[in-house]
Every structure is written in C-alpha cells, then in structure tokens.
Chain A
C-alpha cells in the first residue's frame, strides 16, 4: 500500500517536472517573438477596423449601384439576343471603320442549356448558357485587339481586370506600408473601366497622391503599365466610344471557350471565336 502511494507520487512528480520543462521551453522559445508580435497585430487590427468603418460608410453612400448594373447588363435575368447582336454589330463597324475587316461571317447562336453555378457560400444558382460562335477575317494587327475586346466584355470596374492574387497583394502592401491609402485604392479599384480608360490620369493621380511608399508606387505603376494598358488602349479608343454611344457599356459577360487564329497571309488572319453568354434563369 505504501509502495503504491509512493509510485503515485512518483508519477505526479514526473508529470509536474515535464510541465516545468514544457513551460520553460515555451518561455525560452516563444515568449519574445509572441510578445513582440502582439503590438503589431493590435495596430493592424485597429487600422483594419478603421478601414472597415470608412468602407462601410462609403458603401452606404454609393448604395448597391454596382450590383444593379451587374443584374441589368452583365448578367441579365433574361436572354438578351438583341443586346448581343448589337455588340457584334459594333465590333464589325469598328473593324470596318479601321480598315481592318476583310470578312465577317454570320453569328451562330446555339441552343440554350442550363448549368448550376457553385457560389463561394456553398449555394447553387441555375444559369442559362447560350453558345455563340463567330468567324472574322481581319488584318493581323487587328486580330489581337478583336480577341481582347471580346475577352474584355463582362468586366465592369478596374478591379475586375486584376487577378485576385494581385489585388490582395496590393491591399496587403497598402495596409502594411500606407494604411491611409486604402480608401483611394478602393475608389480606384471600383472605378468604371470606361471612365478610367478615358481619363486615366484623374484616377491614377488620386492613388499616387495618397501613396507615400516608393515600393508601393512601383507596384501600382506595374499594374497600370501591365494588365491595365490594353484596357486603356481599347476603351480609350474609337471602339470604346462606339460601344458607349450605342449604349452598350457595360457589355454582357462572355466566357471564351475557344479562340483559333489562322494566318492567311502576311497581313490577313482568320479568327474563330466560340463563346458562352450567361443569363440568370
């Protein structure tokens, strides 16, 4: 009996000794880095809460204008053949006026079918998909612009053109180096692509003025010179203005399934596009 209790005390001692070792090791290895990290995390949290407060106020002021535009034009509730055909008509007219068009085949519209779209919330939404294809013979220089024009359709704001990773990196860098610049960045990302393309300096200068860090300015300049350059050259040109005057901005969203380009001669290419247009059903 005495031995049994001795053994129990031995086990209790061993356990307590182990706990001492664990705590001492944790203190030695973790306390300093964890302690040093806490003020930075608290500052970050405070700054984020401030940004959320300002962004919420701004969202209330702007209302749900963007969502309304998306519902009306980009992902309409019904099939909009007329709007799509008018979009193709503007494409044809633009290429013809530029002197780049050799032939424009009739547009083929396939049978509609339904798909289930899986949303990030886990919800499923039923969508109507309309396959569309067209073949155009244009000058080789115009082929890239034509394809870009079609790939551009369905993007509304500056932020839509940027990849999510690039956007998050930019937000992260702004938050770390220049938290006050977040609001100017928000306004820039939410700017209408057509308005931005026709007056890029106005929108870009607003961000540049609010960014003080040189590395952040460089990152911003990379975006302006990289993914945003073809948007400016397309929508800031005659094509953009024709789209706007035909009341077709923003165009309906297309997903590009296939692009085939065949060089017919040194300055002539045949472009075949297979697309899908979407509507809520």
Chain B
C-alpha cells in the first residue's frame, strides 16, 4: 500500500485550511459584490423608477420631489395668507395677537355664571354671583358670590370647588374658606371667593375675541 493517500501527519492545520480557502472566499465575495453593484446601478433603477409628468424618477428623487412640492405649497400658503388676511402692518399684527389673547369678558362671564347656575339644583337653592374680575394680563378670574342652599350650602360649595377644577379652561383654583353663615332674614348661605388661574391656550381656543 502506497503512503501517498493518507498524510503521514494526520488532519491539515487551520492555517493550511485558511490558505486553501482564501482564493474561493475572495473570489466568491468579489463576484457577489460585482453582481450586486450591477443590480444596484442597472437593474434596481429600472424596476423602481416612476414617470412623473414625462420625467423619470427613482424612489429617492420622488420622495425629495414630494418634499420640495410640500415646502413650495406651505410657502405659497404663507404668501397668500399674508396678502389676503387683513392687518399687514407688523406692529398692528403683533398687538392684535396680544388683544386676541385677552378674550371676551362677556363670554367668560356668561360661561362661569351658567356653570354656577347649574351647580345647585333649583329645588335645593341657588348660587348668587356678586362680583367678577378678569385680570386679562395675568389670565386670572376672581368670582365672588354665595351659595344659598340652606344647611347644605357648604356641601354644594365644596361640590362647586371640585367641579371648577374639572373645567378644561381652568388651570388651577384657589379655594375659598368653607363656612356657613346666616343672613338677616334667617337664610343659611356659604359665601365664596374663587381665584381661578385660566389655562391660556384653552381659553384662547374656547372663547371669542369679542
């Protein structure tokens, strides 16, 4: 038996395996890279290009074109609005915006009085509002009044204090002192003075300018 079929020193070393695989390894990835490059430059554009008004565009150009169009539409809308909306004087525009932030007192009064009217069922009593103060600069509202609901006046006042905080345009409420008093004619009532910090953004979007 010849000794050429079986190596005398057993299995080949790892270095020997690497050396023998180096050529097919680099050849394989070279061919793969060339094929992918050809596909990327020649095949992919053919399958992914779209014709837009006679102009051929790949997906990236299409997305970029769409972005440019959107930007142009926004810019044109801005120019159009500047031309169409009144008050082109920039100083007048700035002061008008400040004026709009100070919403209609009448609407605010109507809304808070409607809320207080419904806070106590008519058969149980009523809420009387004595004074309202709207500090437009600080976005705060002061409401003074009294709940006339007999022995339950304070309970209803507490209910009002809770409900006030759930109104979307109310940011925070400074609670009054809860106490029951008796009028000269013997009526029980709970006086109140709520200082309400308004949520500027919600107030601005809820109430009209006038």
A→B interface (CB under 8 Å): 2-3, 5-7, 9-10, 12-13, 16-17, 19-20, 23-24, 26-27, 30-31, 34-35, 37-38, 41-42, 44-45, 48-49, 51-52, 55-56, 59, 66-67, 70-71, 74-75, 117-121, 123, 125, 127, 144, 147-148, 151-152, 154-165, 167-168, 171, 175, 182, 185-186, 189-190, 226-227, 230-231, 253, 255-263, 278, 280
Contact = CB atoms under 8 A, between A and B. Distances in A.
Interface stretch (B82-90, B116-124, B155-163, B177-185): B82-90
Contacts of B84: 51, 55, 171, 182, 185-186, 189-190
Contact of B48 (A31, A56, A74, A147): A31
Chief secondary structure at chain A's binding surface: helix
A238 to B, nearest CB: 18
B175 interface: no
- The 6 A-B pairs at the shortest CB distance, nearest first, are namely A6-B26, A9-B29, A16-B36, A48-B76, A157-B86, A55-B83
A66 B87 CA distance: 8
Nearest to B129: A263
Nearest to A253: B95
Contacts of B134: 258-260
A151 B105 contact: yes
Given A2-B22, A2-B26, A3-B26, A16 B40 contact: yes
A54 B129 CA distance: 53
B26 to A, nearest CB: 3
Contact of A258 (B37, B86, B136): B136
Contacts of A278: 95
B22 A6 contact: yes
Interface of B: 18, 22-23, 25-26, 28-30, 32-33, 36-37, 39-40, 44, 48, 50, 52, 58-60, 62-63, 65-66, 69-70, 72-73, 76-77, 79-81, 83-100, 102, 104-106, 109, 129-137, 204-205, 208-210
B133 A259 contact: yes
B76 A49 contact: yes
B86 A190 contact: yes
B29 A258 contact: no
Contacts of B63: 26, 30, 34
Contacts of A75: 89, 91-92, 95
A262 B130 contact: yes
Contacts of A159: 85-87
Contacts of B32: 9, 13
A230 B22 contact: no
Nearest to A54: B83
Nearest to B137: A257
A26 B203 CA distance: 43
B14 to A, nearest CB: 13
Contacts of A259: 105, 132-134, 136
A9 B33 CA distance: 6
Contact of B94 (A24, A51, A120, A144): A120
A128 to B, nearest CB: 12
